[in-house]
């Protein structure tokens, strides 16, 4: 777990009293304020679940400035082509970060019938985890472009594999820049670890069980509304009885995940409450991972349909509603 930093801030200076747009109300009480004399400060979050799954740009900057060891994973991808964006990483990333390819590193081989981004083979994933230097002691922070679901796929996969301390940078790179965070083009490598993954630590749902969640009103589709249902769009369609929760509804105007009351309202409008046990899907198991994270902030455990619609639609016997 990250703790308040002592000592003087180094190169990674942050300016937490400056906010892009309106001041956030999610990170409450006092915040870390650089002080040339004491350089001490505190930062608390509004909920234990949020603290377990998210880290603010302020807290990340403070941790890095104090010399705390953090495994940083940059999971940027280009939404237009739905592919990894190593060029953006090379142009500038948070110091110490390693690039993670959403397809090569966070997915297995697609056969066409198992979805576009199936789970990687456990032994292959373990090799990646060790290469990134992940161990049982060092906290992991994943980040990407603001509002991007790609880092949430890394958050989910690592948690599924038994990595306990994984957090998403709330606000993404825009939030980092807003608070004075620096970028570098320098490459980083970490010593390889000997971590042994424990697959299955987060729940998944297979295609055969998806209709059960739908019948109970507990199946959520994270895709845009135009992809969920549009009779004029041949690419549109959804699993019968699914309920649409487009990702933009999870973010505030600045690209931070909404507060718990606001998220409860978003999911509550779809019949999901504190005692629900929903399942989420999207096109390829990426956007849906962010929905799992948002539900985790509410202490609502959600199943991920990893194969998602790319697997569901591969079988002509499975119904789609347009």
- Between CA 274 and CA 279, with CA 275 as vertex, the angle to 5 degrees is 95
Asked if 237 and 322 count as a contact pair (C-beta separation under 8 A), the reply is yes
Active site residue 20: no
Query: Is there a contact between 294 and 257 (Cβ–Cβ < 8 Å)?
Result: yes
* DSSP state letter for 132: T
Vertex 171: Cα angle to 17 and 60 (nearest 5): 65
Sequence-distant (6+) residues with CB within 8 A of 286 are 102, 117, 149, 150, 152, 153
Among candidate residues 54, 62, 55, the one with its CA nearest the CA of residue 34? 62
- Measured CA to CA, the distance from residue 268 to residue 114 in angstroms comes to 31
Neighbours of 216 (CB within 10 A): 14
Q: Which of 94, 102, 125, 282 is catalytic?
A: 282
Structure tokens at 289: 């991972």
Three-state DSSP state, 219: strand
User: How many angstroms separate the CA atoms of 77 and 85, rounded?
Assistant: 4
Ranges assigned E (strand) in the chain = 54-55, 71-74, 77-78, 83-84, 97-99, 140-143, 166-169, 219-221, 243-244, 279-281, 303-304
Closest CA to 153 of 89, 144, 97, 93: 144
Just list the catalytic residues. Answer: 282
């Amino acid at each position: 777990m990250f703790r308040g930093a002592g000592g003087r801030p180094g190169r990674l200076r942050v300016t937490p009293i400056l906010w892009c747009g309106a001041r956030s109300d999610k990170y409450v009480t006092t915040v870390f304020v650089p002080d040339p004399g004491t350089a001490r400060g505190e930062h608390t979050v509004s909920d234990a679940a949020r603290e377990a799954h998210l880290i603010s740009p302020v807290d990340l900057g403070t941790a890095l400035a104090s010399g705390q060891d953090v495994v940083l994973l940059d999971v940027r991808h280009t939404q237009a082509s739905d592919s990894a964006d190593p060029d953006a990483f090379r142009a500038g990333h948070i110091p110490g970060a390693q690039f993670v390819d959403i397809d090569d590193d966070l997915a297995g081989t697609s056969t066409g019938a198992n979805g576009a981004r199936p789970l990687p083979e456990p032994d292959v994933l373990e090799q990646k985890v060790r290469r990134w230097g992940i161990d049982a002691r060092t906290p992991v922070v994943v980040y990407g472009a603001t509002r991007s679901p790609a880092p949430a796929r890394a958050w989910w996969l690592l948690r599924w594999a038994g990595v306990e301390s994984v957090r998403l940078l709330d606000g993404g790179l825009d939030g980092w820049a807003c608070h004075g965070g620096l970028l570098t083009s320098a490459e980083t490598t970490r010593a390889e670890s000997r971590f042994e993954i424990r697959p299955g630590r987060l729940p998944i749902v297979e295609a055969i069980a998806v209709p059960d969640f739908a019948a109970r009103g507990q199946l959520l589709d994270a895709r845009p509304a135009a992809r969920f249902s549009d009779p004029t769009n041949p690419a549109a369609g959804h699993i019968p009885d699914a309920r649409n929760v487009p990702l933009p509804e999870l973010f505030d105007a600045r690209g931070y995940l909404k507060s718990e009351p606001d998220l409860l309202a978003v999911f509550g409008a779809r019949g999901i409450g504190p005692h629900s046990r929903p399942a989420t899907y999207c096109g390829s198991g990426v956007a849906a991972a962010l929905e799992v994270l948002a539900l985790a902030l509410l202490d609502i455990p959600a199943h991920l349909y990893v194969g998602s619609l790319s697997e569901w639609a591969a079988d002509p016997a499975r119904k789609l509603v347009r």
